[in-house]
């Protein structure tokens, strides 16, 4: 299934994408995609729904983030060797974990708001997982069993805030609109090999990133198990798993986003995003 949320910000309704590419309204079936609705039982109930029986949604409706009320937005840094090298960072021996504020989450095609103090606004195309079951101290062999599905994340990053303002990465990762998710959550049964997904990103039509999850240093199952050693994972948590090479910081000389730029990104089977960079008023 491809699950999504549509409508104005703060008033999104749950929906799904049918076989024809049309959006169907699930609002009379479940209240939203959060918590237990993302569990194995919750998803199995949705599979029993016949999409053609649901109201069709008008074309060109706004898409919101596919998951509501995210409590933990966890990110992994330096998880591709070529990205670590391009940013002059050592190859990590263990996953580099940090948080993004859930308040930064927006829809896949919403504007990215450039903070007034921003000087080094950067892009990062990533594949994220959404947790569907409670998990703590999870064995690596069992890690994928708690995944509800996969989606695209644009881990927007303000490098000056991240690197030069006291060393706390969350500072450069959490401004409102710095976490576009979607366009939809693709359930695990439709992603037979998450460790073989191509992902890409362009800025103003020029390809900047082109990579594959096959080149992750720490694969999905290791990351989920590792993170669960230190915190309890809950249904609806989002873990975004790092970016391949090609970020602005790694260019010689570095190149950063400016107001008016358009960023597009996508991944195999997970759809695509498009954002315009807009200076915050």
Residue from 17, 273, 250 nearest 153 by CA: 273
In a domain, 196, yes or no: yes
Split at pLDDT 50, 70, 90, the class of 18 is very high
Query: Encoding tokens for residue 28?
Result: 């009379």
In a domain, 86, yes or no: yes
Q: Which CATH number do you get for residue 118?
A: 3.90.850.10
Residue owning tokens 């049309």: 22
Q: Residue 239 has what pLDDT?
A: 98
Residues 165-206 have pLDDT tens digits of 887 899 999 999 999 999 999 999 999 999 999 999 999 999
Phi/psi of residue 68, nearest 5 degrees? -100, 150
> Structural domain of residue 274, as residue ranges?
66-279
Domain count, the chain: 1
Residues 94-152 have pLDDT tens digits of 999 999 999 999 999 999 999 999 999 999 999 999 999 999 999 999 999 999 999 99
| β pairing state of 238-240 and 73-77 | parallel
In a domain, 3, yes or no: no
Q: Residue 84 has what pLDDT?
A: 86
**Contacts made by residues 53-59, CB under 8 angstroms, sequence distance 24+:** 54/16, 54/24, 54/25, 54/26, 54/29, 55/24, 55/25, 56/22, 56/23, 56/24, 56/25, 57/6, 57/15, 57/22, 57/23, 57/24, 57/25
Q: Residue 155 has what pLDDT?
A: 98
Report, as an integer, the average pLDDT of 22-42: 96
Residues 211-269 have pLDDT tens digits of 999 999 999 999 999 999 999 999 999 999 999 999 999 999 999 999 999 999 999 99
CA 273 remoteness from chain centre: 10
In a domain, 107, yes or no: yes
In a domain, 21, yes or no: no
In a domain, 30, yes or no: no
């Amino acid at each position: 299934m491809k699950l999504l949320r549509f409508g104005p910000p703060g008033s999104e309704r749950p929906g799904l994408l049918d076989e024809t590419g049309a959006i169907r309204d699930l609002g009379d079936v479940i209240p939203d995609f959060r918590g237990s609705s993302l569990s194995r039982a919750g998803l199995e109930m949705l599979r029993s729904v016949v999409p053609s029986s649901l109201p069709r949604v008008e074309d060109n409706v706004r898409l919101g983030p596919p998951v509501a009320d995210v409590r933990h937005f966890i990110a992994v840094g330096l998880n591709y060797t070529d990205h670590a090298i391009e940013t002059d960072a050592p190859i990590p021996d263990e996953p580099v974990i940090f948080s993004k504020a859930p308040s930064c989450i927006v829809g896949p095609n919403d504007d990215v708001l450039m903070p007034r103090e921003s000087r080094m606004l950067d892009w990062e195309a990533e594949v994220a997982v959404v947790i569907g079951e409670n998990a703590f101290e999870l064995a690596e062999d069992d890690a994928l069993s708690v995944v509800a599905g996969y989606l695209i994340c644009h881990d927007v990053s303000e490098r000056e805030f991240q690197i030069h303002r006291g060393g706390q990465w969350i500072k450069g990762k959490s401004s409102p609109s710095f976490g576009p998710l979607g366009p939809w959550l693709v359930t695990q049964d439709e992603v037979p090999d998450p460790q073989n997904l191509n992902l890409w990103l362009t800025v103003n039509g020029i390809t900047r990133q082109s990579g594959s999850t096959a080149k992750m240093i720490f694969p999905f199952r290791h990351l989920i198990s590792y993170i669960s050693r230190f915190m309890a994972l809950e249904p609806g948590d989002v873990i975004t798993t790092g970016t391949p090479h090609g970020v602005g910081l790694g260019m010689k000389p570095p190149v950063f986003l400016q107001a008016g730029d358009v960023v597009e990104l996508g991944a195999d089977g997970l759809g695509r995003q498009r954002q315009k960079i807009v200076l915050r008023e």
